[in-house]
C-alpha cells in the first residue's frame, strides 16, 4: 500500500525549517499542511524551496490573509480538496472570543460544516480533517478562547477520517500536553510547530 507523508505545521515557525532550513529535513514529504497562525512569508518560503503542494486553513491571528493570502499555497478553508491521493476537509478559525476575523460561535461553525455535506458526498468521503481549533475534549484547553468545537465531534463521527489535525493550542505553554490523542479510534494530532504524519493513500489518484 502506498503511504503519503504529510508535514503538519501550526502556530509557531519552526527554526529547523526556516532559520536553518536544509532539504533533507523535508525528504520524503508529499504535501505540507498548515493548521493556521503562521506567517505568510514562512508558508511562501516553504512552498518555494520544497516544491511541494501546501494546503492551509487560517488561524484566528491570520487576518492579514484576507487581503494578502500566501502565494503559491492553497486555502482549503470551507472546502474539500483532493491532493496527493487524499481528500482534505478544511475548517479554519476558533471560538468567537473577541469578534475578530476567523472566529465563530458553535452555531456558526456547525452551519459551515453543514454546507460541506454535498462536497463530502461528491468526493466520496474525507481522509484528513484540517482545522485550527481542536475538538471539544480532545486536545483543547480550559480557557474559553482555546476550547474546542462540539460540532467537530459529530463531523469526525460521520466521515471517519484517517486523522483529525488541528493547531491553536500551543504546546510551548504545556510540553506535557499530549501531541496525539484518539477519538473513537481516530488519531487527533496537535500540529504545533511541526509534525510528520504518514497515512495510507485511500484514493489512489493524484490531485
- 3-200 CATH choice from 3.40.50.300, 3.40.190.10, 3.60.21.10, 2.40.50.140: 3.60.21.10
Tell me the average pLDDT across 140-157: 92
CA distances from 71 to 12, 40, 48 (A): 19, 8, 9
CA–CA separation, 101 and 8 (whole Å) = 23
Cell of 143: 480557557
CA–CA separation, 29 and 44 (whole Å) = 17
Residue-level length of the chain = 207
CA–CA separation, 199 and 178 (whole Å) = 20
Instruction: Kindly report the pTM of this predicted structure.
Output: 0.94
pLDDT at residue number 160: 97
pLDDT at residue number 1: 61
CA–CA separation, 87 and 73 (whole Å) = 16
CA–CA separation, 82 and 102 (whole Å) = 23
Is residue 168 within 8 A of residue 120, CB to CB? The reply is: no
pLDDT band, very low/low/confident/very high, at 170 (cuts 50, 70, 90): confident
Residue 77 CA, chain-centre distance (Å), reads 9
SS3 (DSSP) at 71: coil
pLDDT band, very low/low/confident/very high, at 172 (cuts 50, 70, 90): confident
Cell of 60: 484566528
pLDDT at residue number 207: 41
Classify the C-alpha dihedral 128-33-137-112 as positive or negative: negative
pLDDT band, very low/low/confident/very high, at 206 (cuts 50, 70, 90): very low
SS3 (DSSP) at 203: coil
Amino acid at each position: 500500500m502506498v503511504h503519503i507523508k504529510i508535514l503538519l505545521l501550526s502556530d509557531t515557525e519552526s527554526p529547523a525549517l526556516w532559520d536553518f532550513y536544509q532539504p533533507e529535513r523535508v525528504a520524503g514529504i508529499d504535501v505540507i499542511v498548515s493548521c493556521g497562525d503562521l506567517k505568510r512569508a514562512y508558508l511562501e518560503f516553504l512552498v518555494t524551496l520544497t516544491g511541494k503542494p501546501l494546503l492551509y486553513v487560517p488561524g484566528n491571528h491570520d487576518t492579514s490573509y484576507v487581503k494578502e493570502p500566501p502565494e503559491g499555497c492553497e486555502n482549503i478553508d470551507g472546502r474539500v480538496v483532493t491532493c496527493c491521493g487524499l481528500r482534505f476537509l478544511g475548517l479554519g478559525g476558533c471560538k468567537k472570543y473577541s469578534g475578530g476575523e476567523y472566529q465563530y460561535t458553535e452555531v456558526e461553525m456547525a452551519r459551515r460544516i453543514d454546507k460541506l455535506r454535498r462536497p463530502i458526498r461528491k468526493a466520496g468521503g474525507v481522509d484528513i480533517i484540517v482545522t485550527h481549533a481542536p475538538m471539544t475534549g480532545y486536545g483543547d484547553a480550559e480557557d474559553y478562547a482555546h476550547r474546542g468545537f462540539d460540532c467537530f465531534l459529530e463531523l469526525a463521527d460521520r466521515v471517519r477520517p484517517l486523522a483529525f489535525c488541528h493547531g491553536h493550542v500551543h504546546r510551548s505553554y504545556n510540553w506535557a500536553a499530549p501531541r496525539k490523542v484518539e477519538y473513537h479510534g481516530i488519531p487527533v494530532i496537535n500540529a504545533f510547530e511541526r509534525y510528520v504524519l504518514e497515512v495510507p493513500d485511500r484514493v489512489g489518484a493524484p490531485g
